[in-house]
Amino acid sequence: MKKTILLVNCYREKAEEKIQGYHEWLKAAVARSGLDLAIVDAADQEPLTDLAGHSAVIVSGSQKMIAAGEVEPGLFAFLGANRRPLLGVCYGHQALAHAFGALVEKDGQKHLGDEDVFLRGSAGLFAGFPRVFKMYESHEEIVARDNDLERHFSILAESGPGLVEAIAHREFPLYGVQFHPERSGKLGIQLLVNFLKMIH
């Protein structure tokens, strides 16, 4: 049976243009992985709990700010209950952490452009990656290191100032990355290939 990946679009401005980059990223990774995979699109304001049966989930970035209350309650309920392989990107990463109680807050600066990311380990999502690599960033909010984050997630990567760049749930195949792999060239595609290998 053909596997499906649910792509949750959290964008509001230029939503179709933004999500097209995810489709191109997925197409490149699927070609490399050899999977027979179909993409199913949904928006974060839809009743996501009704979208059962997909093999994996990707949650996009967004212009919205979680710390400012710009959230869809249904998205958090969905993220908290989902046990399928899931990858949250930027806003999706922050929403995943927040769904398990972690704090998302303003960083005091805007991160825009390539930044160095430092790995804590090279297995799983980051198999085949160098210990330090560049990824494209575009965000003003960050996932804070607090007790809820540490209780539910392992920190896989961080940036130079010690900011959380990637997380993995301690029990379930749920991952978040603060950077934008869909805009980060070959390494961004490799990350998605690694994620797709988790689909059974």
Q: Which residues are catalytic, by number?
A: 90, 180, 182
Q: Tell me which H or E stretch contains 43.
A: strand 37-43
Q: Count CA atoms within 13 Å of residue 193 on its CB side.
A: 15
CA separation for the pair 79, 41 (Å, rounded):
16
SS3 content of the chain, % helix, strand, coil (to 5): 30, 35, 35
User: Exposure pattern of 126-145 as b/e (b: 16+ CB <10 Å)?
Assistant: beebeeebebbbebebbbbe
Structure token digits, residue 62:
């967004």
Q: Provide the CA 15 distance to its chain's centre, in angstroms.
A: 17
